[in-house]
Structure 1
Amino acid sequence: MNLHLSLTPLLSLLAGILILIMPKLLNFIVAIYLIAIGLVGLFGAGAIRFN
């Protein structure tokens, strides 16, 4: 049985939980999320593999 994980849904889930717990972190979470998605877009997700 193989389990394939994507980075984007995991980051979204983590960001949503943190925002619910501490709403004041919203600006930082959104900034970190956007930076991470930008880096994945620039460098490609092909190099990142979770096995």
Structure 2
Amino acid sequence: MTITVAHLQPVIAIIAGVLILIMPRLLNYIVAIYLILAGLFGLGIVH
């Protein structure tokens, strides 16, 4: 079984949601990192 981005996104979303609930100030950083990574994966720069 290979793990792809499609498998990781729900796990990352759950972890990010828990972190945001614990520390709301992390929201800006979590969203920024997610958007950067989603862009890099979408462009195919990161495999």
Calculate the aligned-residue CA RMSD, in Å: 2.2
User: Which has the larger Rg?
Assistant: 1
Identity %: 53
State TM-score, norm by structure 1.
Answer: 0.66
Structure with larger RCO (C-alpha < 8 A, sep 6+): 1
Structure 2: 5+ residue stretches without partners: none
Structure holding more helix per residue = 2
Instruction: Write the mapping of 1:1-51 to structure 2, written as runs, cut at 5 A.
Output: 6-43=7-44, 47=47
State TM-score, norm by structure 2.
Answer: 0.70
Structure 1: 5+ residue stretches without partners: none
